[in-house]
Amino acid sequence: MAGMALAGALSLLLAACANTGPGDAIERITAVDYGQPYLGMSKTEVLSCAGTPRSRIPAGKTTETLVYHYSGAGPVPSGGDSGGKKQKASTPFGGGEKKSKGPKPTCTASLTFEKDVLVRVSYAHMNVRSPYEWQGEDNEAAAERMRKEGVPTCVFSLPRCRR
């Protein structure tokens, strides 16, 4: 009986160590930390090379997260909050101004500062979907296309920041 319990425990241990499944996939995806080179930068440095964030999220007295939407390698400064020129609003009632839209962003980055020092960078594709979503598709051709194209990803850098 003790031998069977030992064999069962050993098989569970071996199964836990196997490199398969979603946990392993997540580990591989997150293995490279593209934000690491920028950790320790001041908020002033980041704002000067990344530009105005899309939003600011305060958390307590000393923590703030700046959120950027971008396409390409990472956020870069633009002429305004969304980088566009002011145009007349296209509302049925007229009046007002709005910013024209440039290329639609594909990625979002959250830069968390504690005491005005960058401590964490999180980034993700804005159109992310489950890697298993293709399995729920009824159309076989669409399912195969989804399976082959994989999950959209983002790379993060601050191309105008010296590090």
Structural domain spans, the chain: 32-84+96-127+155-163
Can you tell me the distance from the alpha carbon of 110 to that of 53, in angstroms, rounded to the nearest whole number? 9
Q: What percent of the chain has pLDDT over 70?
A: 65
The pLDDT value recorded for residue 24 is 67
Smallest CA-to-CA distance from 118 within 60, 61, 47 is with: 47
Dump the DSSP string for 61-90.
TTEEEEEEEESTTS----SSSSS--EEE--
Nearby residues of 62 by Cβ (< 8 Å), 6 or more positions away = 114, 115
Can you tell me the distance from the alpha carbon of 57 to that of 111, in angstroms, rounded to the nearest whole number? 10
Indicate the average pLDDT of the chain. Answer: 75
Residue-wise pLDDT for 124-148, tens only, equals 888 877 777 778 888 888 888 887 8
Query: 137 exposed, middle or buried (CB, 10 Å; 0-12, 13-18, 19+)?
Result: middle
How much is the average pLDDT of 27-56?
87
Nearby residues of 47 by Cβ (< 8 Å), 6 or more positions away = 53, 66
Can you tell me the distance from the alpha carbon of 124 to that of 68, in angstroms, rounded to the nearest whole number? 11
In CATH, the number for domain 32-84+96-127+155-163 is 3.30.1450
Query: Mean pLDDT highest for which of 21-25, 81-85, 93-97, 114-118?
Result: 114-118
